[in-house]
Amino acid sequence: MDDRLTETQIEAPLSLAKAGGHGDRYGARADRMGRMAALGLPLPPGVVLDFATVASIAEGGPIPCIPDPIGPILALRASAGNRRWGGPQSILNVGLSDATLPALIDKIGARGALEAYRRAIRSYAVRVEGMDPEDFDNLLYDQMKFASRLGERDLEAIVAASKALYEDETGAPFPQSRDAQIEGALRAMAREWNAPTARILREANGAPPHAGLALIVQSMVFGLGDSRSGAGSFQPVDSSTGDAAPTGRYLPDAQGGDAGRGVRTPHMITEAERAEAGQTLPALETLEPAAFAALVDGAQTLTRGFGDTYEMQFTVECGRLFILDAEPVRRSSRAAVQIAVDLVECGVIGRETAILRIEPRSLIETLHPQVDPSARRDIFGTGLPASPGAATGTICFSPEAAMALHAQGEPAILVRVETSPEDIRGMHAAVAVLTVRGGMTSHAAVIARGLGLPCVVGASDLQLSLKAGELRARDGRVFRQGQRITVDGTSGEALAGAPAMVPAVPSPAFGRLMDWADEIRELGVRANADTPADAAMARRFKVDGIGLCRTEHMFFEGDRITVMREMIMAETVEERIAALDRLLPMQRADFAALFETMQGLPVTIRLLDPPLHEFLPHSEEEMAALAAATGLPLARVIARADDLREFNPMLGKRGVRLGITMPEIYDMQARAIFEAAYDAGSRTGAQVIPEIMIPLVSANREAELVKARVEAVAGAVMAERGGSLEYHIGVMVETPRGALRAGDLARSSHFLSFGTNDLTQMTYGLSRDDAGRFMRDYVQKGVFPEDPFHSLDIEGVGELLLIAAKRGRATRPDVTLGLCGEHGGDPESIRFCKVAGFDYVSCSPFRVPIARLAAAQATILTRNSAR
Amino acid sequence: MDDRLTETQIEAPLSLAKAGGHGDRYGARADRMGRMAALGLPLPPGVVLDFATVASIAEGGPIPCIPDPIGPILALRASAGNRRWGGPQSILNVGLSDATLPALIDKIGARGALEAYRRAIRSYAVRVEGMDPEDFDNLLYDQMKFASRLGERDLEAIVAASKALYEDETGAPFPQSRDAQIEGALRAMAREWNAPTARILREANGAPPHAGLALIVQSMVFGLGDSRSGAGSFQPVDSSTGDAAPTGRYLPDAQGGDAGRGVRTPHMITEAERAEAGQTLPALETLEPAAFAALVDGAQTLTRGFGDTYEMQFTVECGRLFILDAEPVRRSSRAAVQIAVDLVECGVIGRETAILRIEPRSLIETLHPQVDPSARRDIFGTGLPASPGAATGTICFSPEAAMALHAQGEPAILVRVETSPEDIRGMHAAVAVLTVRGGMTSHAAVIARGLGLPCVVGASDLQLSLKAGELRARDGRVFRQGQRITVDGTSGEALAGAPAMVPAVPSPAFGRLMDWADEIRELGVRANADTPADAAMARRFKVDGIGLCRTEHMFFEGDRITVMREMIMAETVEERIAALDRLLPMQRADFAALFETMQGLPVTIRLLDPPLHEFLPHSEEEMAALAAATGLPLARVIARADDLREFNPMLGKRGVRLGITMPEIYDMQARAIFEAAYDAGSRTGAQVIPEIMIPLVSANREAELVKARVEAVAGAVMAERGGSLEYHIGVMVETPRGALRAGDLARSSHFLSFGTNDLTQMTYGLSRDDAGRFMRDYVQKGVFPEDPFHSLDIEGVGELLLIAAKRGRATRPDVTLGLCGEHGGDPESIRFCKVAGFDYVSCSPFRVPIARLAAAQATILTRNSAR
């Protein structure tokens, strides 16, 4: 084919049936309609004017000759390079004139033909001559004062009045020549495309500055008039389930989108649908069995030809079906999975295509209950959608209240200004969490995602007064402990009362899709799991191991916190060791349970990370209680808490800094891990190879010092227990310096696991807990294209990951590279990890399916782009 | 020369006079002595056994033949590759025997000769045979019971007893052959060099594992005996001032280091010295005028030959001078400058050599008063030496108390747990600062260095109870407000009372040296100056401009803080603008004063950086006062303060984030800057080109948004004032992401100024305020080689600077690169900046001379290494 723009092309438009496969010159719609015509679908005949021709028309160039066989009356439709770039509305009934009217009356009856003529004059006047549409509508309404349904005479009068109006306004009669109407309509559409507003709008949707427009000139088919004519839409599947079930709407005596305008009640497509809706109007199936059969047939052809299920816009003209256009069926995420899997099983598409077709994030909806889309939403507060799903429960303003309610078997919703590690038990007991402060990666958000709890954070339009015991909404409503509310973590809203919910039942199709994903993906998917319950949840989602077990959460359970605090209060190493000795069996039991649950799958345990003050009580009452429990003077408790206070805890004495300045803590943890590995190994028979991770390393010497002590503990435990124990020691890379020095770190590390939460904080110099206050503003203003705590910042943090991966591998080619931040569950970030050559990602248990699917997609995409 | 080890070399030791210039084979001492001999200085003749020969001797190899002309009695001295690596002590009087004794008696008298023999037997027995020195000393003490000064007979008896003791212990008589004594002594010294402890010690001082030892065999000269013999040390300059003034000590009838052992009172060298010391013993000048003249002469020869002033060890044998060794004169930093400048002026060394010879940090001592080194120090607390110099004053526990005292003209010392921006006025009023908490870059430390105030931080052995109004030392002593103490910021100590001080008077020599440095250096040196007073101070230190003016400090002055707080309390943009309108004239006046002081030199002004909560009061009383002052309800004040509170203020809503979310603040500051530029320019006639710096940028869009608004303000001011105004807008690069994206940033930036304080914090994930608690531990354990807040971390932060410089220059080749962190005053970091191609560094005014000198050194070193 010749791609050059020539006069010949302007003279000879491309026939519609040949337009398929030339979207880059004829636009998406012409391409689609061409491919549909090529499949033998019943489309009205037509031709296409390409981008160059239309550009020339816009500048006053010649109008190509539209061949007569297309018919005397035409529909003109826009075809831009991409559906999202819009384009001028269609102009219909072009060529209708006093001369062509009689033949149309013969074909579809006088009423239909006159209505078409009325519409033809109106749209030509408005679009070509720029007249006010209201003037024409007034003619119609004036006439309708006298008749609820317009008869032939009424319409004749309106047509005459319309012509007169046209001539009054333009000084010339309504053009009676087909060619004149075509020229006027084509120039109008070409001009509209070049209007500044249209340009701005499409460029906002990603169109290039010189995006072209093609125009389709098609024979007009008429749904108006004749009792066997009408217009409608049809799709072969159910949009919410994806199950095979023809469905749609049909409106007799209608044109284009009339069926959706709600003027009259449309008919259903099948009798089954009609029966279910309790409608009396007969279904299309009954009205026009041949057209219906052709639709079912056409949908099948389209599915096989286009590789997806499509919704079709159609017109029935005197009993004969014409398909006008088609677009992929809109579908819920659940339906998307079902449709994709069905298409694979019918041999229409391959597994890889099915996998690529599902947006991984959409799986969330299939895993959590949701508020019924049709339920009334009584929103009293809005925040950030921190953890998806919805739950209804009773307001609790304290973790204790939530635990008490949970003990009674009642669903509790924990409502806090913000949460701290002390709230963990309350969060475990709650069905959802709502906080007034905090960002997408605040404590509440991170923990809730880990627990799979619906969560809304940063609902700053709410005021929580614990003193008054009330939660006050901006509209003045007050909610108190004990009232029922619903937290919708998918939308980020707090709802009053208990709206209807849609349950989460993963379908068999979901299971099949995930199995295929596992066969394809190369990137491991592990879970961030701190407890045997987390681990069991992760295993239900078919995880490859645990990539991050945060040991600190274990210290808040039950009465351990008191022992932990005694440890912190210790004034001598001996006192500290005595307290640690009491924590040892508890940690050992935790680790053993975790190892047993994981049955030999890898488990990476991070040594204690948070600063010690996080474990101390904050209020004076609690401090007094601690003093009483430990027998220490209150003054000493207060002094110690004061002493540990930090200006910037995120950048303080935590992680390996704690491990080096108080090495006894890591000694205890290492011993607990090794002893638990022995215990679990002998109980399950599956060998446990624990992976010990050192947090917050910024210099290799830190890792070396800890490693030496951990190895000493391992030696001691082996000597006591006999046999030999395999284990790996690695580093959590979460400071920019750690990333830059990864070449050094790999020397002491079996693995490097990137903690992208902290790495993002430090790379931006931005605390995730404090960023919530302005992040929405920042993203809205386009300062940051996205919240970097949500989707990995490829340009900054990503570069550090690439530098680190390269340097780490240079020193130790077989070093294992993992990512264990929140980004481990983010599809774009997962794709990045695949490209960067990582071995695994680790994410919240609830995001494991998302990560598995995204990992499979990453493999397919990398493979495709390498081809 | 043939470098291979051959038998010939073992047979033929190198003559001392030829050893100069062969330190890599004969060691540093032999090299030095060889060069001294070559200069014609009166050294005893000798030969050197090289490293290979001594190594062979240690393994039992042959002993080379020591030529007879060296003399019958010898001194053996060690010569290692580097003075710091040590080496066996000298063995003297080798070869003295019954046979050689008479000749020695003839030469120096019986008493001296017998004492030498006694020493010879003792040292041979101890060093070669490993006998206990105490046994020999007891013989001496036994004899001394009967006589306070030993006579000839006494010594004869001790020599005989020593010989008997030797034979008793070893089973053989004391060896009478010169060769046998030489062999024993040489093998002993070679063996001692190889002892494990000696190896470990020298390796700790940087010696390589196979460091060699050479041995010098020299004719023995005798200071013992004869009334015209003795030993001493001499130097041509005063160690504390550097002024030309021969000085030293001389002890007759003494050998080697006897003069320094304090057995007898030594004589002075010159009569002037004797007179000043009020001593009666005649000076060497009088006792031995010829030897004295030879010493003065020798010192001059040595200075010219070696290019530095040396202290010489000498022996006078029967009135004849012998020089034994020499080392560079120990000198105070003030003396170092004087000596270097004098050497240049005498034509001994060039200016570059003089500049390289001064340790830049040592200049601090010449710029601040210090505690007199000879004063008694009553230390009651120890912390970090955060800002050098010492000051005595009255304890004040609050900034208000310090200001009150200052108003009375009394020196105040501000003592705080830690300081915050609210203490700034108190710090301005104080002569020194002492804090219980904080690290080298805590608020107190940074501000104190900026103000040039002596400061000790992190004195964690002190307990400050504001309630009790007392500062309690670990030893139980209690200090209260009003007591006098001294803060020694050079040593990091808090001293009770008022020890004697040494004032700081920069000498003319200092001025000359700095002028030379300015002629050589290429790197600009600017000052971090916030006020006209800072700026004036910086100009006194001959600064090239202001690299960082932190505007926030201006908001704490006088009653501005109240207006600032009103601005923060504003609930609407209009309220905020109203408050800002009141701040505008104040800021404008500040900037105008700054510009006027700098007389057209560049001034970089950083837009507001700290989070707003830093400006709010903390206690409920203060909040109540604010509520009263502003007429706002107390609840609103508290709520707003609560609202602004952050988890990690360092990583919070500050810098450009503030500028983007509350753009009115930067608008006001930009207007104040531009209007001030007009005002100052018209007043002084020197054109002001303000440089506006946007802090904490991590994405270029941030800079673009602020830049657009600043440009709009500039346009408005120009329209109002007329004419045109030149100004530059740049970015403060202080987040790792900012550094990585410097290529983008340079697009919107005229300059990139690296804020290495924050960049270090974020690269390490380490808050400078919190790091103080464990940094000492970390550096001591070698986890970090140095405090990265003190000396730039070349490997991590440095790599980010290099990446940023490269990328910034790639986008905009003429972008100005500066460094404005604390590191701007650190010599190693300055050298790094020179190598990295930076344009300037900016540091505290008090560190400007250090930076100027270090910058000159960097230029010289870079030039030399390029040769």
Q: Is B376 annotated as a binding residue?
A: no
Return the higher-pLDDT residue of A452 and B729: B729
CB contact under 8 A, B793 and A705: no
Q: Which member of B701, B764, B773 has the closest CB to residue A698? A: B764
Fold: same for A3-219 and A373-502: no
Nearest chain B residue to A783 by CA: give it. B701
Amino acid of residue B129: E
Identify the weakest region by mean pLDDT among A312-316, A797-801, B468-472, B725-729.
Answer: B468-472
Whether residue A784 lies within 8 A of chain B, CB to CB, comes out as yes
Q: Determine what percent of chain B is predicted with pLDDT higher than 70.
A: 97
pLDDT at A2: 39
CB contact under 8 A, B736 and A793: no
Q: How many CB atoms lie within 10 A of CB A68?
A: 8
Q: Does domain B373-502 have CATH number 3.50.30.10?
A: yes
CB contact under 8 A, B648 and A740: no
Residues in A touching B646 (Cβ below 8 Å): 767, 769-770
Whether residue B556 lies within 8 A of chain A, CB to CB, comes out as no
Helix and strand counts by DSSP (H, E) for chain A: 34, 31
Q: Which member of A652, A764, A796 has the closest CB to residue B767? A: A652
Identify the weakest region by mean pLDDT among A531-540, A659-668, B456-465, B732-741.
Answer: A531-540
Q: Which member of A737, A767, A793 has the closest CB to residue B651? A: A767
Token pair 């689609």 is found at A32
Positive or negative torsion for Cα B273, B275, B280, B285 = positive
Buried b (16+ CB within 10 A) or exposed e, B180-213: bbbbbbbbbbbbbbeeeebeeebeeeebeeebbb
Q: Which member of B648, B737, B782 has the closest CB to residue A767? A: B648
CB contact under 8 A, A660 and B778: yes
Q: Which member of A648, A740, A784 has the closest CB to residue B648? A: A648
Tell which phi-psi region holds residue A470, choosing left (phi > 0), alpha (psi between -120 and 50) or beta: beta
Distances (CA, A) of B861 to A325, A807, A847, B517, B794: 77, 31, 57, 13, 18
Size (chain A), residues: 867
Token pair 């549909």 is found at A36
Q: Which member of B696, B705, B778 has the closest CB to residue A783? A: B705
Question: Is B210 in the active site?
Answer: no
What gap in Å lies between CA A754 and CA B387, rounded to an integer? 38
What gap in Å lies between CA B559 and CA A749, rounded to an integer? 57
The distance of A671 to chain B (nearest Cα, Å) reads 24
Nearest chain B residue to A776 by CA: give it. B661
Measure the N-to-C terminal CA separation of chain B; round to a whole number of Å.
26
Q: How many CB atoms lie within 10 A of CB B431?
A: 23
Rg, chain B, Cα only: 34
What gap in Å lies between CA B551 and CA B605, rounded to an integer? 7
> DSSP label at A481?
T
Whether residue B802 lies within 8 A of chain A, CB to CB, comes out as no
Residue A512 · residue A852 · CB < 8 Å:
no
The distance of A421 to chain B (nearest Cα, Å) reads 14
Whether residue B777 lies within 8 A of chain A, CB to CB, comes out as yes
B 733-772: CB under 8 A from A:
734-737, 740-741, 758, 761-767, 769-770
Mean pLDDT of B456-462: 92
Whether residue B782 lies within 8 A of chain A, CB to CB, comes out as yes
Mean pLDDT (chain B, rounded): 91
Distances (CA, A) of B32 to B2, B38, B326: 21, 10, 8
* A642 Cβ contact list (under 8 Å, min separation 6): none
Token pair 């010649």 is found at A62
Annotated binding site of A for Mg(2+): 734, 758
The list of chain A residues with pLDDT below 70 reads 1-12, 146-148, 259-263, 365, 505, 867
Mean pLDDT of B253-274: 83
The distance of A50 to chain B (nearest Cα, Å) reads 39
Q: Give which of B170, B173, B186, B147 is closest to B48, Cα–Cα.
A: B186
Residues in B touching A737 (Cβ below 8 Å): 763-765, 793, 796-797
Residue B545 · residue B602 · CB < 8 Å:
yes
Confidence bin at B456 (pLDDT 50/70/90): very high
pLDDT at B507: 85
For domain A230-331, which CATH number applies: 3.40.50.720, 3.40.930.10, 3.40.50.2000, 3.30.470.20?
3.30.470.20
Homologous superfamily of B521-611+646-866 in CATH? Answer: Phosphoenolpyruvate-binding domains (3.20.20.60)
ipTM: 0.79
Residue A229 · residue A67 · CB < 8 Å:
no
B 625-654: CB under 8 A from A:
646-653
- The dihedral formed by the CA atoms of B356, B361, B367 and B372, expressed in degrees to the nearest 10: -110
pLDDT at B579: 94
CB contact under 8 A, B764 and A737: yes
CB contact under 8 A, B764 and A702: no
> Chains A, B: CB contacts under 8 A, how many?
161
On the question of pLDDT at B488 being above 90, the answer is: yes
Domain boundaries, chain A: 3-219, 230-331, 373-502, 521-611+646-866
B 144-163: CB under 8 A from A:
none
pLDDT in tens, B646-690: 889 999 999 999 999 999 999 999 999 999 999 999 999 989 999
- Most confident segment among A361-375, B18-32, B296-310: B296-310
Residues in B touching A734 (Cβ below 8 Å): 765
- Can you read off the two tokens belonging to residue A288? 């026009």
Nearest chain A residue to B766 by CA: give it. A651
CB contact under 8 A, B762 and A767: no
The distance of A632 to chain B (nearest Cα, Å) reads 20
Whether residue B258 lies within 8 A of chain A, CB to CB, comes out as no
Testing the interface with A: which of B420, B436, B636, B764 to mutate, by most A Cβ within 10 A? B764
Whether residue A786 lies within 8 A of chain B, CB to CB, comes out as no
pLDDT at A553: 78
* B591 Cβ contact list (under 8 Å, min separation 6): B605, B672, B673, B676, B677, B680, B690
CB contact under 8 A, B799 and A761: no
Amino acid of residue A1: M
Mean pLDDT of B409-437: 88
- The residue from B820, B823, B833, B843 that is catalytic is B820
What gap in Å lies between CA B672 and CA A781, rounded to an integer? 27
Confidence bin at B561 (pLDDT 50/70/90): confident
Measure the N-to-C terminal CA separation of chain A; round to a whole number of Å.
26
Q: Is B550 annotated as a binding residue?
A: yes
CB contact under 8 A, B765 and A758: yes
Homologous superfamily of B3-219 in CATH? Answer: ATP-grasp fold, A domain (3.30.1490.20)
Which residues of A belong to the active site? 443, 820
A 294-353: CB under 8 A from B:
none
- Can you read off the two tokens belonging to residue B116? 């030498």
Q: State the helix-helix crossing angle for B110-127 and B133-144, rounded to 10 degrees.
A: 150
Q: Which member of A650, A735, A783 has the closest CB to residue B651? A: A650
The distance of B767 to chain A (nearest Cα, Å) reads 5
| Continuous segment of H or E residues that includes residue A441 | none
Positive or negative torsion for Cα A44, A45, A48, A54 = negative
- Can you read off the two tokens belonging to residue B161? 């007893």
A 700-739: CB under 8 A from B:
701-702, 705, 734-737
pTM higher than 0.90, yes or no? no
CB contact under 8 A, A652 and B770: yes
Distances (CA, A) of B439 to A659, A736, B443, B767: 20, 22, 9, 10
- The residue from B443, B613, B750, B790 that is catalytic is B443
pLDDT at B24: 84
CB contact under 8 A, B777 and A651: no
Question: Is B833 in the active site?
Answer: no
Residue B612 · residue B556 · CB < 8 Å:
no
Q: Which member of B696, B762, B796 has the closest CB to residue A741? A: B796
